[in-house]
Amino acid sequence: MRIGFGYDSHRLVRDRRLILGGVNIPFDKGLIGHSDADVLSHAIIDSIIGALGLGDMGKHFPDTDQQWKDASSIELLKYIVELTGANGYEVFWIDATIIAEKPKLSPYFESMKEAISQSGIPSVLINIKAKTNEGMGFIGHGEGIAAYAVCLLRRLT
Name the residue among 66, 59, 73 with its Cα closest to residue 31. Answer: 73
Q: Whole domain around residue 44: which residue ranges?
A: 2-155
| pLDDT (mean) for 8-33 | 97
CA 89 distance to own-chain centroid: 19
The enclosing domain of 16 has a CATH number of 3.30.1330.50
**Contact of 112 with 22, CB cutoff 8 Å:** yes
Task: Report pLDDT digits (tens) over 29-80.
Answer: 999 999 999 999 999 999 999 999 999 999 999 889 888 888 999 999 999 9
pLDDT of residue 106: 97
Name the residue among 132, 98, 101 with its Cα closest to residue 113. Answer: 98
pLDDT cut 90: percent of the chain above it:
94
Question: What mean pLDDT, rounded, does the chain reach?
Answer: 97
Domain count, the chain: 1
| pLDDT (mean) for 79-89 | 98
Helix (H) or strand (E) holding 131: strand 126-131
